[in-house]
Chain A
Amino acid sequence: MSDEIESLIRREYQAGFITNIESETLPPGLNEDVIRIISGKKNEPEWMLEWRLEAYRKWREMDVPQWAHLQHPPVDFDAISYYSSPKSKDDAPKSLDEVDPEILETFEKLGIPLHERAKLAGVAVDAVFDSVSIGTTYKDELAKAGVIFCSISEAVHEHPELIRKYLGSVVPQQDNFYAALNSAVFSDGSFVYIPKNTRCPMELSTYFRINELNTGQFERTLIVADEGSYVSYLEGCTAPMRDENQLHAAVVELVALGDAEIKYSTVQNWYPGDENGKGGIYNFVTKRGVCDGANSKISWTQVETGSAITWKYPSVILRGDNSIGEFYSVALTNGYQQADTGTKMIHMGKNTKSTIVSKGISAGRSQNAYRGLVRISPRAEGARNYTQCDSLLIGDQCGAHTFPYIENKNPDAILEHEATTSKVSDDQLFLCRQRGIDEEKAVSMIVNGFCKEVFKELPMEFAVEAGKLLEVSLEGAVG
């Protein structure tokens, strides 16, 4: 399978994508014509174009959100090209062998070189390279089970009834500034539909890779789990090192109908910028799921180690009675990274339950904030929330922050929130070193232990990857 996906990526990359790029280049800036061109290139039906234009008009009226604990120069939305356009042909690697050796080295360190990634047994992969879906493995097996797993562009043509029904149903076009922008210009992404009473026969995975320069990346993912179905979905992201900041504004929508369960796991390792804070991805992502039917469940697990800026709040609207929302997060920041991330749990149905476990690790000169909202509506009898936010600081130049908002309108609800802050203690370090473990390894062991509660929620292959990722990301944080 690894050979299959690798050759797939290679082939598309060489034969299709690169050669066509020059003719697809659009000048920077955004207006209705640009949207018409994007839609036209994808040969979209009229309703899709109208939906994009509507989003664009709303976006123009909106302001950039300022409330997050983040500092960065304003993004110049007129300087971004909204359709893939490399700086020059020479700059783009012609095969994976030509990818910047530092990137490959990073993967080697992770123990998951690109050609091995696809080895994950029993995982169907949709590879998205520079926002264009390259191809999907295991399509036939999935089709037998009635599962639809394809790129969202394909779904617009093949399954318009599902797209029209669910696209924007969880994250409306005007939900927030970045979601509106995404709705106007989204390039590609994955679409998943699990039919009634079906357990998806394998893990589904999308592997996102940003490669090109000066291009905004706007994926859109939509997962619909029909009544009584189950799916586990994995998302991995990496990007090469560029001196310029790149904008990534994705939208993920999850719909779980009655008795359905969606488990969504992310290992995000977008390029965080160099040791001086130069470059890196601006990651402004809207992820939200709705537990629409009774007894449904949505679980978000994320390990975030990348991006220069992270602005991301995977949320669950608990509309169905007895529905369950979970958020397990590890966010590690190092260097000059800034993260403002957390979740929203909106309890609307009776006996809805949510669990939030957030582990933030700050190192270097980074700033790491948890921001969360738990809201209990008057009719959410018996609602329960438990929130635990722990921060670990490594070094005295970084910051760790916790901003929970807890709003309760139901006397029958029980909510608990706890947050702690600590550092890697000298005693812990000394014990490790006395036993012959060097300091860097010791810190990484301690950090791994700190994150254990979240890692155990990840599918096995990802848990291993996540642990190694932390180790790599922490390099240079000690001493």
Chain B
Amino acid sequence: MSKTPLLEVKDLVAAVDGKTILNGISLTVYPGEVHAIMGPNGSGKSTLSNVLAGREDYEVVSGSVTFKGNNLFELEPEERAREGIFLAFQYPVEIPGVSNMQFLKASVDAVRKHRGLEELDAPTFMKLAREHCKELKLKPEFLKRGVNEGFSGGEKKRNEILQMALLEPSLALLDETDSGLDIDALQVAAEGVNALRNEERGLIVVTHYQRLLNYIVPDYVHVLADGKIVKSGGRELALELEEKGYSWIQ
């Protein structure tokens, strides 16, 4: 394992509409590691992912975040994405009229260009996209539909994993990827994620429930409450939480 951290969050304080949500978070992720962030509703889990991805509504009050040694806050959202940060949204937005294929191609082109790679020609890209669809048990017609338009909850989440597979990020943030999924859909999504685990890639899995961690097994578990990490531990912490509930931590 490399000694250079992929992501280093130090004393991060962030606010939404003037209200402090994150209250001093510190977290270090090395390549190859899987970190789970758990916490009750309103603990700030989603805020952390959104701040890292660069959402404008979230104001960074203090603290620092370095990604691959660079100050993350100097980058626009699209630059972060090109550098390798991928956020799998909890509620992916629907964009009628823009086909999923157009969207994926524009995205992959932008990221590949930034990494000094050739743009994929249309047939190659389509072939690649179809292959990934198959792995995620998505029908090829899925690519022709408007982005997330009329997708079921499970399809939306699988579409996020599909994008993750195509963009090959170095750090993926999964924001409550399990919410709204039944057990079968959850397994498919988790298999998709696990297929992308490797020595180089970091993964932050944000979840309310332990259930997802049966499928995506984390190296570390952090518990978030009131905008702070109140407890960190290994895999066993998640199980303990499930047994005792969040009130045990608070």
Query: In the complex they form, do A and B come into direct contact, defined as C-beta atoms under 8 angstroms apart?
Result: no
A interface, CB within 8 angstroms of B: none
